[in-house]
């Protein structure tokens, strides 16, 4: 089929969960796009034995969107979210009975022993209403496994459905909000009880260790604007008493709530008053009569990734520092394991026999697609449980090298990952310099490491296999380097991030990796914005080289119109305060010229800047960065008669999902590189 088709079929693991007794791990897989057989999201549940190499096998058929698996505390069932009633339209919590690491075909939906056809089929059964259309947003088993708490919005009323049918459904801003509720479903009876409803939107939950209370997160309205502008409140409800105690309000959004011991732990910004900030671990003592928020990990030179409850009173933390990922316990700060790249998903458990921590992680490298690994804290076990990347086992894409330097202003140390191709284009040996694509990550709160990048930047393995080198810079505003590094995005987008990309590209040239005469820049989302900025400033850095081509994808070209039309809307005020048109002097052009490539266009032309040939790619239904941002640049290039190709993708949002569109993006990126930076042209 070829590499591109193999990549489109590749299954990527995620959402790993270790069985409470530590013998098995359940996880999900999905592709980088929708599969051939279904024009909708599809995800499969897999089960592997933690101590057996490549033991993973599918638990579900792969015909439905089966996600978010969670073990029942006694290991007798796996609960998960699925749309199997009407694929792509419904959402319910399903139960898959388990016994000894296998589907228990002897248990029916009612829990009785059976030898009939229903038991032989061993199909999952719905615990909540199978035909509900509102999404199950998250759920958690109670500590005793007798019920599940979950979050979902109310179904549409008959009146609302009729109004939509009659097209009498005008939208009034702030009215008819779809608010999510906290509910509980009894495992034995399937009875659903709504615990929290009212005028606020529930976003997260965590059970108390004794199972008598639930801490829940709530804010004024749904949507990302409310999350950033209104902050988030913490309250606690008694499961039996239904009494609600308001605890405290937090100034920004909160994620990943975990109740361990007396405290609720969660991830939130180091500085809650700003959108652009590193993620830190916070806590609040729920037993206190005057609780306060406490920042537990400061985020001075690192960022919290994810964390899980460990033994009811402790946590296992995943911390990102530089390009490394570190696992440690929170209570005694014991280091468990470390990795030199990113970890896509993890879970932790305690081996009560040996009293050691067990980890299941999803990781990859440039030559190895993501797999599930099982390991212990002593390192005596490191078992590859899955084998989804075997389809690519005959490929060697390249070699990863970390390069570092000081920023051009001397303020911070920068790092980047350079991928040297295994089979360089136009060379008989594997020595540089190589024609190079500089690929900028999105976010900007993100980072690039030695990983098999098969999602947004799915052209990474394609370009490497074709013989091109890749530079993936970690610029200021990104993650893994602490709050000062991340906070640069507050008022310096378009300045320090751009300067850092240029500085790291110059370093790759000086070290003999990148060919200064054959360099391309590209990226998606904020990476696309940086590609636009680098294009209109092409060669003005004074290093004596310029980009020959650019591939901006889903990037912004004008911050003013982005504030008008993006779904993030007013949240930009927390990222770049005081720059909105309604909050700026009529004569102010600071924001426009700093991060608006379209406003720098005329100056570039007048200054004699040679703009690189641009391959502009954008999705037509992108709500985060609307397609008009790309249309503006297309019109500017067309007006001045400069080389470009503009491609828009119908039906797609900010993240491309349709198979033929994802394929098209890979093919076009490779063709653009072949046209403008190949040694053969």
DSSP labels for 360-419? EEEEEETTEEEEEEEEETTSS-EEE---GGGGGTT---EEEEEEEEE-TTSSSEEEEEEE
Q: What is the CATH number of the domain that holds 550?
A: 3.40.50.1820
| Residue 262 near residue 314, CB atoms below 8 Å | no
Separation CA 593–CA 595 (nearest Å): 6
Query: pLDDT at residue 467 above 90?
Result: yes
Q: Residue 181 has what DSSP assignment?
A: E
Residue of higher predicted confidence among 572 and 388: 388
Q: Residue 639 has what DSSP assignment?
A: H
Q: What is the pLDDT of residues 1-37, one digit of tens each?
A: 599 999 999 999 999 999 999 999 999 999 999 998 8
Strand pairing class (613-619; 147-153): unpaired
Separation CA 253–CA 280 (nearest Å): 12
Separation CA 164–CA 283 (nearest Å): 44
- Is the bond preceding 444 in cis, omega lying within 30 degrees of 0? yes
What is the pLDDT at residue 311? Answer: 78
Helix 526-536 to helix 496-510 angle, to the nearest 10 degrees? 70
C-alpha dist (Å) from residue 526 to 523, 532, 675:
7, 10, 25
Q: How confident is the model at residue 577 (pLDDT cuts 50, 70, 90)?
A: low
Separation CA 236–CA 240 (nearest Å): 12
What is the pLDDT at residue 640? Answer: 97
What percentage of residues in the chain have a pLDDT greater than 90?
75
Q: How confident is the model at residue 387 (pLDDT cuts 50, 70, 90)?
A: very high
Mean pLDDT of 164-171: 92
Among residues 581, 592, 671, 663, which one has the least CA distance to residue 632? 592
Q: How confident is the model at residue 505 (pLDDT cuts 50, 70, 90)?
A: very high
What is the pLDDT at residue 113? Answer: 39
* Sequence-ordered list of residues with C-beta below 8 angstroms from that of 38, at least 6 positions apart, any chain: 63, 87
Q: How confident is the model at residue 359 (pLDDT cuts 50, 70, 90)?
A: very high
Mean pLDDT of 613-623: 98
Helix (H, G, I), strand (E, B) or coil at 516: strand
Q: How many CA atoms lie within 13 A of 502 on its CB side?
A: 23
What is the pLDDT at residue 115? Answer: 36
Separation CA 248–CA 554 (nearest Å): 38
C-alpha dist (Å) from residue 339 to 343, 485, 524:
8, 22, 26
Q: How confident is the model at residue 170 (pLDDT cuts 50, 70, 90)?
A: very high
Mean pLDDT of 622-645: 97
What b/e string do you get for 394-422 counting C-beta neighbours within 10 Å, with b at 16 or more? ebebbbbeebebebeeeebebbbbbbbbb
What is the pLDDT at residue 317? Answer: 92
Q: What is the pLDDT of residues 113-122, one digit of tens each?
A: 333 333 334 6
| Residue 603 near residue 568, CB atoms below 8 Å | no
| Residue 75 near residue 98, CB atoms below 8 Å | yes
Query: Biggest alpha carbon distance in the chain?
Result: 81
Separation CA 110–CA 97 (nearest Å): 11
C-alpha dist (Å) from residue 392 to 264, 396, 452, 470, 666:
43, 9, 11, 19, 17
Determine, yes or no, domain membership for 415: yes
Separation CA 282–CA 393 (nearest Å): 42
For all residues of the chain together, what is the average pLDDT?
91
Mean pLDDT of 162-179: 91
What is the pLDDT at residue 573? Answer: 62
Separation CA 230–CA 628 (nearest Å): 29
Helix runs in 271-358, H state only? none
What is the pLDDT at residue 432? Answer: 86
Residue of higher predicted confidence among 490 and 670: 670
Question: What's the burial of 9, exposed, middle or buried (CB within 10 Å: 0-12/13-18/19+)?
Answer: middle
C-alpha dist (Å) from residue 77 to 42, 80, 107, 153, 378:
22, 10, 10, 25, 30
What is the pLDDT at residue 119? Answer: 33
Query: pLDDT at residue 251 above 50?
Result: yes
Among 246-250, 379-383, 480-484, name the one with the lowest average pLDDT.
Answer: 379-383
Determine, yes or no, domain membership for 485: yes
What is the pLDDT at residue 569? Answer: 80
Element (H, E) at 659: helix 659-676
Query: pLDDT at residue 337 above 90?
Result: no
Determine, yes or no, domain membership for 541: yes
What is the pLDDT at residue 244? Answer: 96
Query: pLDDT at residue 489 above 90?
Result: no
Determine, yes or no, domain membership for 476: yes
Query: pLDDT at residue 112 above 50?
Result: no
Q: Residue 440 has what DSSP assignment?
A: E
Sheet (strand 368-376) strand order:
343-351, 356-365, 368-376, 382-384
What is the pLDDT at residue 122? Answer: 66
What is the pLDDT at residue 118? Answer: 35
| Residue 506 near residue 473, CB atoms below 8 Å | no
Separation CA 480–CA 467 (nearest Å): 30
> Which residue range forms the structural domain that includes residue 421?
398-676
Q: Report the phi/psi class of residue 9: left, alpha or beta, with left for phi > 0 and alpha for psi in -120 to 50.
A: alpha
Separation CA 372–CA 6 (nearest Å): 19
Chain CA centroid to CA 504, Å: 25
Query: pLDDT at residue 235 above 70?
Result: yes
Separation CA 30–CA 513 (nearest Å): 34
What is the pLDDT at residue 223? Answer: 87
What is the pLDDT at residue 352? Answer: 65
Backbone angles phi, psi at 505, to 5 degrees: -65, -45
Helix (H, G, I), strand (E, B) or coil at 224: helix
Torsion from C-alpha of 97, 100, 106, 108, nearest 10 degrees: -10
Determine, yes or no, domain membership for 501: yes
Among residues 616, 673, 671, which one has the least CA distance to residue 648? 616
Among 265-274, 334-343, 451-460, name the one with the lowest average pLDDT.
Answer: 451-460
Number of domains in the chain: 1
Q: Residue 679 has what DSSP assignment?
A: T
Among residues 138, 136, 28, 24, which one has the least CA distance to residue 83? 136
Separation CA 229–CA 240 (nearest Å): 33
Q: Residue 92 has what DSSP assignment?
A: E
Separation CA 582–CA 595 (nearest Å): 18
Q: What is the pLDDT of residues 394-445, one digit of tens each?
A: 999 999 999 999 999 999 999 999 999 999 987 777 788 999 999 999 989 9
What is the pLDDT at residue 227? Answer: 81
Mean pLDDT of 266-287: 91
Determine, yes or no, domain membership for 389: no
Query: pLDDT at residue 249 above 60?
Result: yes
Q: Is the dihedral of CA 30, 31, 33, 38 positive or negative?
A: negative
Name the pTM for this structure.
0.94
Give me Rg for the CA atoms of the chain.
26
Determine, yes or no, domain membership for 615: yes
In DSSP notation, 154-175 reads: PPPPHHHHHHHHTT-----TTS
Determine, yes or no, domain membership for 119: no
């Amino acid at each position: 089929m070829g590499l591109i088709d193999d990549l489109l079929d590749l299954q990527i693991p995620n959402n790993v969960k270790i069985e409470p007794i530590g013998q098995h791990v359940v996880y999900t897989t999905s592709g980088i796009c929708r599969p051939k057989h279904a024009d909708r999201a599809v995800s499969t549940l897999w089960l592997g034995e933690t101590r057996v190499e490549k033991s993973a096998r599918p638990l579900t058929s792969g015909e439905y969107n089966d996600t978010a698996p969670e073990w029942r505390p006694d290991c007798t069932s796996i609960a998960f979210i699925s749309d199997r009633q009407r694929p792509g339209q419904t959402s319910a919590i399903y139960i898959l009975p388990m016994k000894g690491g296998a589907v228990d075909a002897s248990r029916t939906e009612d829990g009785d022993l059976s030898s009939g056809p229903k038991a032989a089929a061993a199909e999952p059964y719905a615990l909540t209403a199978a035909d509900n259309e509102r999404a199950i947003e998250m759920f958690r088993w109670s500590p005793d496994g007798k019920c599940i708490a979950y979050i979902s919005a109310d179904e549409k009323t008959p009146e609302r459905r009729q109004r939509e049918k009659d097209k009498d459904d005008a939208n009034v801003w702030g009215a008819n909000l779809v608010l999510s509720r906290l509910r509980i479903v009894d495992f034995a009876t399937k009875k659903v009880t709504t615990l929290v409803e009212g005028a606020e939107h529930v976003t997260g939950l965590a059970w108390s260790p004794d199972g008598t209370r639930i801490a829940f997160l709530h804010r004024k309205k749904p949507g990302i604007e409310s999350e950033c502008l209104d902050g988030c409140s913490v309250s606690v409800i008694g499961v039996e008493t239904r009494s609600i105690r308001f605890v405290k309000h937090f100034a920004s959004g909160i994620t990943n709530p975990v109740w361990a011991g007396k405290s609720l732990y969660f991830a939130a910004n180091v500085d809650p008053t700003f959108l652009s900030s590193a993620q830190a671990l916070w806590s609040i003592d729920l037993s206190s009569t005057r609780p306060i928020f406490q920042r537990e990990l400061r985020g001075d030179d690192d960022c919290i990734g994810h964390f899980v409850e460990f033994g009811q009173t402790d946590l296992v933390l995943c911390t990102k520092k530089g390009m490394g990922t570190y696992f440690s316990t929170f209570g005694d700060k014991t280091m468990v394991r470390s990795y030199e790249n990113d970890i896509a998903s993890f879970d932790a458990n305690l081996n009560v026999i040996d009293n050691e921590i067990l980890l299941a992680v999803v990781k990859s490298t440039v030559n190895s697609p993501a797999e599930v690994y099982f390991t212990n804290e002593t390192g005596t076990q490191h078992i590859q449980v899955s084998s989804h990347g075997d389809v690519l086992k005959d490929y060697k894409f390249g070699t990863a090298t970390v390069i570092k330097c000081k920023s051009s202003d001397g303020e911070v140390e920068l790092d980047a990952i350079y991928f040297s191709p295994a089979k360089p284009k136009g060379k008989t040996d594997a020595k540089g310099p190589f024609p190079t694509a500089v690929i900028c990550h999105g976010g900007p709160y993100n980072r690039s490491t030695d990983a098999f990048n098969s999602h947004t930047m799915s052209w990474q393995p394609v370009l490497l296999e074709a013989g091109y080198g890749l530079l993936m810079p970690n610029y200021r505003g990104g993650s893994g380097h602490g709050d000062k590094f991340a906070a640069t995005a507050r008022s310096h987008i378009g300045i320090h991030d751009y300067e850092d990309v240029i500085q790291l590209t110059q370093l790759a040239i000086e070290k003999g990796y990148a060919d200064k005469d054959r360099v391309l820049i590209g990226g998606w989302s904020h990476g696309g914005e940086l590609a636009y900025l680098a294009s209109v400033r092409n060669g003005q850095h004074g290093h004596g080289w310029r980009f020959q081509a650019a591939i901006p994808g889903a990037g912004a070209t004008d911050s003013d119109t982005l504030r008008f039309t993006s779904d993030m809307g007013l949240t930009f005020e927390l990222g770049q305060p005081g720059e909105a048109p309604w909050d700026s002097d009529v004569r102010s052009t600071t924001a426009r010229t700093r991060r608006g490539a379209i406003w720098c266009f005329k100056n570039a032309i007048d200054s004699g800047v040679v703009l690189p040939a641009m391959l502009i790619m954008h999705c037509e239904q992108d709500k985060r960065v609307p397609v008009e941002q790309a249309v503006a640049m297309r019109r500017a290039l067309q007006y001045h008669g400069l080389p470009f190709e503009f491609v828009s993708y119908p039906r797609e949002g900010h993240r491309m999902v349709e198979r033929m569109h994802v394929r098209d993006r890979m093919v076009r990126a490779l063709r653009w590189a072949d046209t403008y930076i190949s040694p053969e042209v």
